Amino acid sequence: MEHTQTPALVICGHGMVAQRLLEQLVATGHPFSRIVVFNGEPFAAYNRIQLSSLLANQVRESELELKPRSWFRQHKIEVYNREPVTAIEPHQRRVTTASGRTLAYHTLVLATGASPSRLGLPGEDLDGVMTFRDLTDTRTLIHRAQTHRRAVVIGGGFLGLEAAEGLRARGMDVTVLHRSGHLLNRQLNPAAGELLKHQLQQRGLTVLTGTEPTALLGKNQVQAVQLSDGTVLATDLVVLATGIHPNKALAEAAGLACDRGIQVDSQMTTSNPHIHALGECCQFQEHTFGLVEPGYEQAAVLARHLCQVSGSPGFTPGEIATRLKISDLPIFSCGPITPGPHTETIEWQDYAQAVYGQLLVEHNRLTGAILLGDTGSGPWYSELIRSGTDISRYRDTIAFGKPYCDAAA
């Protein structure tokens, strides 16, 4: 067993948000004599957003690397892959890893991410039942796509649709099952969801909405999915994409305050002043986070806090915009997707061109935006929503985008 007494900044986890924190610390000029990262994955931080592109054979695996090894050597950052922290002793300010290594810390950061949710279906432990979460999952899916023909993806959120489209691009016959009445029901309204479904079916996916599985069938290998209406779908592969839950067990075992995630304040500090958390594992007020953008904002806040930058603002969750592309169809969503009792709705659609837009306006302020097909105005709409700008001067032309509104003003 290695026992090291040198105080250090220790980071548990090395995903995209942890890597952004490292870069912010380097850029700001951190006070730590030693930074140690313990990572449960076999790989240093990589671009998880590009996993769907890797699955679809649109990028090479080497393109996912965020920083070369030389960057970590240059900045004297120690990264230990395949070595997650297994225990925290807050009173001793010490961690223990899976290899038995112990290390004293001055400051500890938990960036343990999230894990795929399970449905608890009979047959979930069969071979061929998978998740789509990390590079290891993606490698396995690519291999199975070469040797299997049929796949069922359970979940019509963005992760499930990205997995489905990637497997389709690899030559598989893919069926998507989604419990809600329309796809991306957290980001899109029914009209946009229906248009998306039509476009994906035109590209070769089979999409079944308003249905859910009741069992996965097979002996050792999954062979079929049984649906709530009794239908049985033959398959060689099942991908579970039904959401995530924060990895909080390590923090809970250490006695840190947790709810759905590890609870933090606006400086990303947990109930222990020497321990911080950020990214998908944390919870601020009632919010948990499944997108990288708020994680990057948290990394900037925590870096300034750890570097003792005076007057630094704390983390404030705002309306998070969802930007993604599925089968080359861009999608943007920000704010609420359904109108309230005092909301005006501006809506346009070109079904043949796969273009849809909805803007929600309340008291001359933009509160929500959905764009499908043409998302060029998305960043502007997002800024209007965040800032609460009075849009009365271009209320009648806002659907045409910022250049038109500026010219008409």
Q: What percentage of residues in the chain have a pLDDT greater than 70?
A: 98
Confidence of residue 311 (pLDDT cuts 50, 70, 90): confident
**Taking a C-beta distance cutoff of 8 angstroms, is the pair 194, 182 a contact?**
yes
Confidence of residue 409 (pLDDT cuts 50, 70, 90): low
Is the model's pLDDT at 324 over the cut of 70?
Answer: yes
Of 314, 308, 253, which Cα lies nearest the Cα of 110? 253
Of 15-19, 327-331, 399-403, where does the model show the most confidence? 15-19
294-299 contacts: CB < 8 A, separation 24 or more? Answer: 294/320, 295/16, 295/17, 295/20, 296/17, 296/20, 298/17, 298/268, 299/17, 299/18, 299/20, 299/21, 299/24
pLDDT, tens only, 262-273:
999 999 999 999
Confidence (pTM): 0.91
Q: What average pLDDT score do residues 69-91 get? A: 97
Q: What is the domain partition of the chain in residue ranges?
A: 3-115+244-306, 129-240, 322-408
Intrachain domains 3-115+244-306 and 129-240 with the same fold? yes
DSSP H helices in 48-121: 51-55, 69-74
Instruction: Measure the CA–CA gap between 249 and 258, rounded to whole angstroms.
Output: 9
Per-residue pLDDT, 204: 95
According to DSSP, the β-strands at 275-277 and 107-110 are parallel
Confidence of residue 402 (pLDDT cuts 50, 70, 90): confident
Just give the CATH number of 322-408: 3.30.390.30
Is the model's pLDDT at 1 over the cut of 60?
Answer: no
**Taking a C-beta distance cutoff of 8 angstroms, is the pair 282, 13 a contact?**
no
Between 3.20.20.70, 3.65.10.10, 3.50.50.60, 3.90.1150.10, what CATH number should domain 3-115+244-306 receive? 3.50.50.60
Identify the residue with better confidence: 327 or 157.
157
Q: What average pLDDT score do residues 33-45 get? A: 96
Q: Which two tokens mark 304?
A: 């300034």
Is the model's pLDDT at 132 over the cut of 50?
Answer: yes
pLDDT, tens only, 190-199:
999 999 999 9
**Taking a C-beta distance cutoff of 8 angstroms, is the pair 268, 282 a contact?**
yes
Does the domain spanning 129-240 belong to CATH 3.50.50.60? Answer: yes
Determine which of 143-152, 304-313, 371-380 has the lowest per-residue pLDDT on average.
Answer: 304-313
Is the model's pLDDT at 218 over the cut of 70?
Answer: yes
Per-residue pLDDT, 7: 64
Determine which of 1-15, 163-177, 246-260, 371-385 has the lowest per-residue pLDDT on average.
Answer: 1-15
Per-residue pLDDT, 375: 94
